[in-house]
Amino acid sequence: MTDIVIYLNPLCGTSRNALAMIRNAGIEPHVIEYLKTPPSRALLLELIDRAGITPRALLREKGTPYAELGLRDETLTDEALVDAMMEHPILINRPLVVSPLGVKLCRPSEAVLDLLPAEQRRTFVKEDGEVVEATRR
């Protein structure tokens, strides 16, 4: 069995699609609803590092206090951005997927295919009707 972890918000369609694609590959991941169980600061920093992105690249703007907190300010340090994500986990973009093949912010949801060691079992149709071919990797 492949050990895959997905940090998601079940209210997010992109998260639901990524989760369904993992399952469509015959893998049952460990699901973490990060708004209920936020990562520790150390884990968040590790995930950012392993994904090869910056804290700013992980920030979510839509439906968050991003603007109210002044997070558009490009002079803010990575530490300040991580502080904001720790205080307001909704600022952490999703879904974030961890697999033996790497860590990735899976936006769009089919980016998860790069992290799966198994092919899709069948053609997958996202919630919006977009078809993701079974052989895509």
- Residues acting as catalytic residues: 12
Give, for 41, the enclosing helix (H) or strand (E).
helix 41-51
Token pair of 52, please? 């090869």
The residue whose two tokens read 């974030």 is: 96
Q: What is residue 96's three-state secondary structure? A: strand
Q: Residue 112 and residue 119: Cα distance in Å, rounded?
A: 11
